[in-house]
A and B are shown apart, each in its own frame.
Chain A
């Protein structure tokens, strides 16, 4: 049987046993997102000659977090809930050559990690944030998230969500991220293209992927994918967003100074000569 082309980047088995099939629930979108990310990384390795050893995948806690440690044959960290971007910042300070891809969820990014998220965008660090947004907390059993639409019932909003929800892309853009985009699991090719651009971008790339959670939303995956297609509309430059639809596409791609490069200018002042140490 012909193998899936992305299996070359994954651990199929280990000393302690097989890793496949994945632990994700049937119909979950996380596997689709991982597939898209690996296709984009593959393009960078094949087309740009990027070193595989320099890619690092960092996740926090939640469904999205399970994608790295279990399966990826890359350097990775399955880290603390919400702290992925602070940890990624530390890694880049130590080694700016690393190509860091943070795979995160809407709770990880928009709630517990919100502070780190806006400050990474503000600093414009050279990394890629892929946020799998399923609109709820899946791993803990379907609680309300900052991205849950108003009115939706969850296990912690049994009478319907009375709060307003976050638009994470607008938040990222306002905080200063130069590359911001949104696609859905129903747009695999567009997602791969945008991910490739985002990883190539020198600076913070925030790419939100709207995804389905059939288990906690109690709907069929097919029905949910159709809804993701029908409920979204691509943004067109110069045109207002389509009323009643979630905008998708690439929202911005700006040239801004990347922080590590800016700080390098400070380092360079001291690179060639001895500095009288003043204490």
Chain B
């Protein structure tokens, strides 16, 4: 790790947006391309300040389409790159995300979610969580994670870069406006205790250009970069292992797309992370993600201690790939599953699918444009469980 001018180990009082960018440069991000949009702009402004200090480059592009494309070019030329945007900008980035999936490009995009549709408003939301999975055209998945605190804006951003390099995939940090704007304590641990993963390269594996197959060798192919003599050709069409589409046939098409899909969906256990409390024998359950998990856990503790309701807590740290089998493995059959979300019910769909025969009822607790209070969640629990 090149530690020059990184945020030193210690205790800080920081904004989520700043913690995110500090995590990125600690993970090795040295290119940032962005376009201003409320409420994500603070990440970009901090990038403009900090990237040159660590020997990286920052650019304000002409739009979000271009910002996401900067990540493609930078990654192929050998640097880790990031951009941050908010929901309308995230829509514009879907084209590059889809291309990033096909070309297996490590890249990190932060979506500081604001409510929609349209310009919606500039407050908080979790309304893009389905867009993170289904917004881009075509098959193939990106990885999406959901931080809930300033500490996690730092930690999860490092994890996002590690996942993107490890799996050669776009990684989407789906945070909410309130997490990006929140100020709270950040602890930076000793830098040598932080794991930083870099992409596997053919040079490291002793594979010369003559025998290098850009999409071969392993489940996650070693990645040659531009300028290294590998004559690497990044391509957005379905392709053969040699990185070309010289002879198209359906079997090749099927093999290419299934491999991309299975690389992520088939490794969900290695990628996805959950957090649970009180779930071993619980009668009811709350499933949540992002900052909603912070008020939800208060509601759960209150429900258990004061009202005597046996309710468990499950938080999705990873939204996509959706850890369906993990949920089914660790959860007992339950009666009612509450899903508080800052939307009208989005992640409740894969949750309901995963728990289709494991629960009696799914109860969404929607809240638009503001964070649920514990009381709000408790009232819904009371309403349902007499």
**B-contacting residues of A (Cβ < 8 Å)?**
14-17, 19, 53-54, 56, 58, 68-70, 72-80, 83, 86-95, 97-98, 115-116, 119, 263, 266-267, 269-271, 274-275, 277, 279
Contacts and interface: CB of A to CB of B under 8 A. Distances in A.
Contacts of B74: 90-91, 93-94
12 contacts: A16-B240, A16-B244, A76-B234, A77-B76, A78-B237, A86-B61, A89-B61, A94-B30, A98-B227, A116-B69, A270-B54, A274-B4
Given A90-B77, A277-B53, A75 B230 contact: yes
B69 A90 contact: yes
Interface in B54-70: 54-55, 57, 59, 61-63, 65-67, 69-70
A277 B226 contact: no
Given A69-B233, A93-B59, A15 B226 contact: no
Contacts of B245: 69
B318 to A, nearest CB: 27
A234 B149 CA distance: 64
Contacts of A97: 227
B227 A95 contact: yes
B69 A119 contact: no
Given A69-B235, A80-B95, A263-B57, 4 more contacts: A53-B228, A53-B229, A89-B66, A270-B54
B181 to A, nearest CB: 15
A275 B5 contact: yes
A250 to B, nearest CB: 27
**Chain A interface SS verdict (over half):** mixed
A229 B240 CA distance: 42
A94 B73 contact: yes
B104 interface: no
Name which of B22, B79, B226, B230 has the most chain A CB atoms within 10 A of its CB. B226
Contacts of B184: none
Given A53-B228, A115-B66, A86 B73 contact: yes
B316 interface: no
Given A53-B229, A279-B22, A86 B237 contact: no
A79 B66 contact: no
Interface of B: 4-8, 12, 14, 18, 22, 30-31, 33, 46, 50, 52-55, 57, 59, 61-63, 65-67, 69-79, 81, 95-96, 99, 213, 226-237, 240-247
Contacts of A277: 5-8, 50, 53
A70 B248 CA distance: 13
**Most chain-A CB neighbours within 10 Å: which of B18, B33, B55, B69?**
B69
A208 to B, nearest CB: 21
A77 B224 CA distance: 13
A217 to B, nearest CB: 27
Nearest to A15: B242
Nearest to B234: A77
A269 B51 CA distance: 12
B247 A16 contact: yes
B28 to A, nearest CB: 12
B76 A275 contact: no
Contacts of A74: 231
A70 B246 contact: yes
Contacts of B235: 69, 77-78
Given A56-B227, A86-B70, A79 B99 contact: yes
Contacts of B81: 90, 93-94
A76 B214 CA distance: 12
A267 B55 contact: yes
A17 B52 contact: no
A231 B71 CA distance: 42
A75 B55 contact: no
Contacts of A56: 77, 226-227
